[in-house]
Structure 1
Amino acid sequence: MTLVYVVAGEASGDVLGARLIAAMRARAGGIEVAGIGGARMAEQGVASLFPMQELALMGLAEVLPKLFRLRRRLEQTEADIAARRPDIVVTIDSPGFTLRLLRRIAPLGLRRVHYVAPQVWAWRQGRVKHFPGLWDRLLCLLPFEPDFFAPHGLNPVFVGHPVLESGADAGDPARFRARFGLAESARSLILMPGSRRTETARLMPVFGATVERLRPRFPDLVPVLAAAPALAGELQAQAAAWPRPPLIVTNVAERYDAFAGAEAALTKSGTSTLELALAGVPMAVTYRVNPISAMLARRLIKVPHVAMINLLAGQELVPELLQDACTPERLSAEIASLLGDPERAAAQRAGFSAALSTLAIAGSASPSEAAATAVLDLL
């Protein structure tokens, strides 16, 4: 048996890990897997060393009270790897934990792969000098990443972006309308304020005021709030005071069904822009952080766009309304333009197709198949 040790620290990494394991087993027999993961990796037979949720922490205020526990979990994982002596270790994203783990297990002489390149190309590029020696192969999701990492001897391989396997483009609008009893003539607006309280706290009031400004011109507009399951009740309570409370969708299938029937979306920056683009939903992108963080970000960020779909397109394909521009007046004007101007919406959709085409690798291999090939080749 070949033992592959896979470490994922959050839900997106759990999905990537499960797909990778399935793709490796489809290509090679005798694959045994251990490590850390969630429900999706458990479906592939991984008994997680400890609950993955203990690693899904973001932000200084969230991490500081749990530093001691995180250090213990790091030591526990290192000890488990040393005891098992796997044929290869695959760490997935979650750099705050996984990169420390890779450094600690370096003396063991095991083959190591890191899946999802750290986005140091976007800001604080000098951090890349700390990476040599951490892995034998770096699996990149974005087409421009190998050119950034290769000069540093970091062995990057472009495997394609997992959004292409997400099913975001396969939703059923009729099923969504039936689920919520909507008329076929209803026009829906997707609202995606993020999956962390720090994000939703800043964006939910702005989203509510934006919907209210749109209501006189678009009285049949139905807001649909895509909420992380852990925050659904909290966001529903916040939105209950809106003059037009939104429909709430929490699971992936419902979200993609909502995408299929939507005419526009208002989303925070992140992977959600790629999901919406794959579903062909015209959008405006926004974000707001505290002023000090924004000031630091302006000095450190090295890329011309915040939205991933814009980075891929090489232009501002979708409007980015950040910080002071994140106002109900500006957001409602952009959404009204998308709803009222079919040509502008069509231009965005055409741009989406071209940008997303850069996320696929040559040939017919899916991203998970390409990732599995890279890992197995190293073995």
Structure 2
Amino acid sequence: MSSRQFAMVAGEASGDLLASLLIDGLKPRWPDASLVGIGGPQMLARGFESWWPQEKLAVRGYIEVLRHYAEIAGIRRHLRARLLREWPQLFIGVDAPDFNLDLEAALRGRGIRTVHFVCPSIWAWRADRIEKIRAAADHVLCIFPFEPALLAEQGVSASYVGHPLANVIPMEVDRRAARRALDLDEDRPVVALLPGSRRSELRYLATRFFAAAARMRRSQPELQFVAPIIPSLRAEAEALLAASEMAGAIRLVDGRSHQVLASCDVTLIASGTATLEAALFKRPMVIAYNMNRVSWHLMHRQQLQPWVGLPNILCSDFVVPELLQEAATPQALADATLAWLDAPDRVAALRQRFTQLHGELLRDTPTLCADAIEKVLQA
């Protein structure tokens, strides 16, 4: 096996973006390296060889994972066996801790060096994961500045590399140009609907979001609605929209979530990485989440902070509303979203806070990742 093979697993759309930026740091440093494992379209565009479709791992929530457990466990078992045969110089698990940490521990136990990119949210919930991290990773690449110190206290080597999204998203964006690119009216307000990148999220949130949009349109008929959808979920999204009051009134676009966020005045958005993207676009938002009741109960019991959305966690305050589980009714979602359109001073203050946050997260992430990985390889 070539000493220049790096293996990676990125389990969902946000991980694909993170991993693609990591690859941007690896390729100049090791131009002859082959990159293999499981990844998405942005990784593939950079020459990555994916042995399984990334969508196979994009499952969230205890009950949802249980339903797909046999298939996911089979993929991990076959992937582990193949990696032990091929013996890559390094394995990098990109987020997806439920899949990657056990895999990393097995590989590291056999002598393969491992890096985990994105510290699991031990500061938010599931503090018990620290033992798994210690066993799994030779080094952790952290995307939030307070994380390396927390890990160091637990004996885990880590580096702050900045948040990759802070480099991808510019400090200022041209809202009108984004609207033109999406064929939206430049002079009418835009509401972006982002119900999530997983099939389970779409199933639990899209109908609520579409019903909320109907209520918003009744209150303010001039509103425009646009929703970016993962292409593999488009048929399901179209069926849900066709069954709603908003059939024909919401523009569904394949991907292009950044362009959609750039275009909007406010977004109704599923909790997850997309909320941080919205913050970096300096957009007001309403964060929502709804999932299987049993999954919610189990996750909620382990929550360590009062906030769920990343913008609120990073600002240590409820700077944007969170409507979760039973609270995420169509009427409540509509009211909270419309409230932003009637509060320009509140929007201006939020924009200032998000600009400050953007600066805190802005680093040369690809280079810092490559620097840290080089030290791991030389250890």
After TM superposition, the score normalised by the length of structure 2 is 0.88
In the alignment, is the contact (CA less than 8 A) between 2:60 and 2:200 conserved in 1?
Answer: no
Post-superposition shift, 1:172? 5.2
Q: Choose 148-157 or 284-293, whichever is displaced more.
A: 284-293
Task: Tell me which residue corresponds to 2:241.
Answer: 239
Q: Choose 219-228 or 352-361, whichever is displaced more.
A: 352-361
> Which residue of 71, 85, 88 maps to 2:87?
85
Post-superposition shift, 1:315? 1.0
C-alpha spacing 1:199/1:33, structure 2 compared with 1 (3 Å): closer
Q: Hey, what's the Cα distance between the residues in 2 that align with 1:35 and 1:290?
A: 30
Q: Hey, what's the Cα distance between the residues in 2 that align with 1:291 and 1:53?
A: 23
Q: Which residue identity does 2:147 align to in structure 1? A: E
Q: Which residue identity does 1:283 align to in structure 2? A: M
C-alpha spacing 1:169/1:256, structure 2 compared with 1 (3 Å): farther
Task: Tell me which residue corresponds to 1:268.
Answer: 270
Q: Hey, what's the Cα distance between the residues in 2 that align with 1:297 and 1:83?
A: 37
In the alignment, is the contact (CA less than 8 A) between 2:107 and 2:114 conserved in 1?
Answer: no
Q: Deviations over 1:306-340 (max 9, x none)?
A: 11011111111111122333223322222222112
C-alpha spacing 1:209/1:142, structure 2 compared with 1 (3 Å): same
Q: Deviations over 1:5-32 (max 9, x none)?
A: 2233333333333322231222345434
Post-superposition shift, 1:221? 0.5
Post-superposition shift, 1:39? 3.0
In the alignment, is the contact (CA less than 8 A) between 1:260 and 1:279 conserved in 2?
Answer: yes
C-alpha spacing 1:196/1:81, structure 2 compared with 1 (3 Å): closer
In the alignment, is the contact (CA less than 8 A) between 2:285 and 2:320 conserved in 1?
Answer: yes
1:368 aligns with 2:356: no
Q: Choose 119-128 or 151-160, whichever is displaced more.
A: 119-128
Q: Choose 215-224 or 287-296, whichever is displaced more.
A: 287-296
Q: Hey, what's the Cα distance between the residues in 2 that align with 1:86 and 1:164?
A: 30
After TM superposition, the score normalised by the length of structure 1 is 0.88
Q: Choose 174-183 or 296-305, whichever is displaced more.
A: 174-183
Task: Tell me which residue corresponds to 2:376.
Answer: 378
Q: Which residue identity does 2:341 align to in structure 1? A: L
Task: Tell me which residue corresponds to 1:38.
Answer: 40
In the alignment, is the contact (CA less than 8 A) between 1:172 and 1:257 conserved in 2?
Answer: no
Q: Deviations over 1:326-355 (max 9, x none)?
A: 223322222222112211111111111122
Residue correspondence of structure 1 range 76-115 to structure 2 within 5 A: 76-115=78-117
In the alignment, is the contact (CA less than 8 A) between 2:63 and 2:295 conserved in 1?
Answer: no
Q: Tell me, which stretches of 5 or more residues in structure 2 are unaligned?
A: none
Q: Tell me, which stretches of 5 or more residues in structure 1 are unaligned?
A: none
Post-superposition shift, 1:68? 4.2
Q: Quick one: percent identity of the two aligned structures?
A: 33
Task: Tell me which residue corresponds to 2:252.
Answer: 248
In the alignment, is the contact (CA less than 8 A) between 2:193 and 2:209 conserved in 1?
Answer: yes
SS in 2 for 1:133: helix
Residue correspondence of structure 1 range 9-28 to structure 2 within 5 A: 9-28=11-30
C-alpha spacing 1:29/1:262, structure 2 compared with 1 (3 Å): closer
- Counting matched residue pairs gives 373
Task: Tell me which residue corresponds to 1:118.
Answer: 120
Q: Hey, what's the Cα distance between the residues in 1 that align with 2:94 and 2:313?
A: 23
Q: Hey, what's the Cα distance between the residues in 2 that align with 1:131 and 1:113?
A: 10
SS in 2 for 1:131: helix
Task: Tell me which residue corresponds to 1:50.
Answer: 52
RMSD (Å), alpha carbons: 2.6
Q: Hey, what's the Cα distance between the residues in 2 that align with 1:298 and 1:163?
A: 27
In the alignment, is the contact (CA less than 8 A) between 1:169 and 1:260 conserved in 2?
Answer: no
In the alignment, is the contact (CA less than 8 A) between 1:171 and 1:257 conserved in 2?
Answer: no
Q: Hey, what's the Cα distance between the residues in 2 that align with 1:216 and 1:123?
A: 39
> Which residue of 213, 216, 229 maps to 1:227?
229
